[in-house]
Amino acid sequence: TRFVVAAQAYTRNHPHLQLLQTRFGHELARHQARVAGEKQEQTAKPAIIPDAWLLFEAQTSGSHYPVLVEIDRGTQFRAKFQAQIQAPVAFIRSGAYAKVFDTPAVVIAYVTCGQVATPRQTRLKTMATWTQEVLTALDLPSWEAIFRFTALSLDTLYDDIPSLLEEAVWYRPDLSQPVPLLG
């Protein structure tokens, strides 16, 4: 919630970037449950419930940037985290993502947080490595481009949100240099 509120506050004061839509995990869970109930199929169970989904628009270009946001607190070990990576991949590949969000485009952004910088950076690198392992096993190397990872302290989130939305402070699984979240 804090990440979404920070993004909303930032875009309100920076008209070159607009936040067009936000959906929280609980809203997505209700929507997917309703769709499953309408279809009355077991296969319609939710494939993924992200913490949030945000749709940004760059005013200068008119480009849209849909972002699935996951806040990582470092509590998942390798197997569970890798299963969590496989879920959005399957959701996107099935076409369900495009139906739910009305767009095929997506960036999947993982924000790991904690009080101490060194463990945050270690977790960031570990998540990127585990993601790359999953994508390699699924023979989807080009999908590395849709994943982004960053580390921050939630205590400084409101101060950090300009750089999170505008600067190259995110890491892809396949690159050692940071990239921007949007664009």
Instruction: Please list the pLDDT of the chain residue by residue as tens digits (183 residues).
Output: 889 999 999 999 998 999 999 998 777 666 555 555 555 444 444 456 789 999 999 999 999 999 999 998 877 789 999 998 998 999 899 998 998 899 999 999 999 987 788 888 999 999 999 999 999 999 999 999 999 999 998 788 889 999 999 999 999 999 999 999 997
pLDDT score recorded for residue 179: 97
Pairing of strands 52-58, 168-170: unpaired
Task: Output the pLDDT for position 5.
Answer: 93
Q: How far is Cα 159 from Cα 32, in angstroms, rounded to an integer?
A: 34
Q: Of 169, 86, 94, nearest to 131 (Cα)?
A: 86
Quote the pLDDT of residue 44. 43
97 neighbors 106 (Cβ within 8 angstroms): yes
pLDDT of the residue at 158: 87
Q: How many CB atoms lie within 10 A of CB 37?
A: 10
Q: What is the pLDDT of residue 156?
A: 87
Q: Beta-carbon neighbour count of residue 9 at 10 Å? A: 13
pLDDT reported for residue 49: 79
pLDDT at 16: 93
| Cα atoms in the Cβ-side hemisphere of radius 13 Å centred on 154 | 12
Distance CA 2, CA 8 (A): 10
